[in-house]
Amino acid sequence: MTQAERRQYLIRFLLNESREYKDLAVPETDAEQKILLRSLFNIRMPQEASEEFLRIQNEYLQEEAREKGITDYHDLTPVEDGIYLWQGDISTLKIGAIVNAANAQMLGCFYPNHKCIDNCIHTFAGIQLRMACKDIMMKQGHEEEAGKAKMTSAYNLPSEYVIHTVGPIIYGAVTRKDERLLASCYRSCLTLAEEHGVDSIAFCCISTGEFHYPNAQAAEVAVQTVRDYKAETGSKIDVLFNVFKDIDLEIYSALLKKAT
């Protein structure tokens, strides 16, 4: 099957799952089809699918990743010992684990085509990721607490694992509790990664964006927590700070130029 044929198959399969959308026409252009397919992935509740669907979905998503371009973190130059800074799409990064800024439900973003990292990771990992997160939450029996971390396979992403963490939501001024919770996100992710033998991890800008933690303050917590963790534990885990916006690149570049 070509990519277009795979995409159209996936769209029709997902439309036929729903009484509401089953009669919706498949758009003609590739761009419109990609928007619709992502929307259908986003709104789909966690549930099983056929082996044929999973096979075609996996082939489609892995080819999409190749077309976008995969970045192996080993090809990057560290900015200091064991610490990297990279601007780009975290879903295209080949590394031990990438960190997802999740919400307390831990099932991914259900808003069609939303630009948050949670949406991006769940979209390009495939429907298996939402199922895995559902299993974790069913066993846990309650919403995920801020500052903790959970690990899943990365499925169709180039990384091996996804580590999910819920950061603090900021409603006004940042408090000391907010700072402690954000630091706990970074420390929990690092600890979990090392417990599972993961030797490299990429952090997104946890709690910024939709959770309203000021970018500069969040970056300060991130960099200091990682430096403290590595100093206190003697950890050799490679840490990559992944940024998407230019402003975050500027902030992290400045922080990582400062002496430890």
Residue 15 phi/psi, 5° resolution? -65, -40
Convert the pLDDT of each residue in 241-258 to its tens digit.
999 999 999 999 999 986
DSSP annotation of 103 reads: -
Average pLDDT for 190-205: 98
Distance CA 143, CA 140 (A): 8
Which residues in the chain belong to E strands, given as ranges? 71-72, 83-87, 93-94, 97-101, 150-153, 161-165, 200-203, 238-243
Show the DSSP H helices in 69-214 as ranges.
Answer: 117-125, 127-140, 176-195
Convert the pLDDT of each residue in 118-177 to its tens digit.
999 999 999 999 999 999 999 999 999 999 999 999 999 999 999 999 999 999 999 999
pLDDT of the residue at 23: 82
pLDDT of the residue at 259: 52
Adjacent-strand bridge partners of 80: 83
- pTM here is 0.94
> Mean pLDDT over all residues of the chain?
96
Average pLDDT for 65-73: 97
Report whether pLDDT(98) > 90. Answer: yes
The pair of three-digit structure tokens given for residue 24, joined into one six-digit string: 């919706």
141 Cα distance to chain centroid:
23
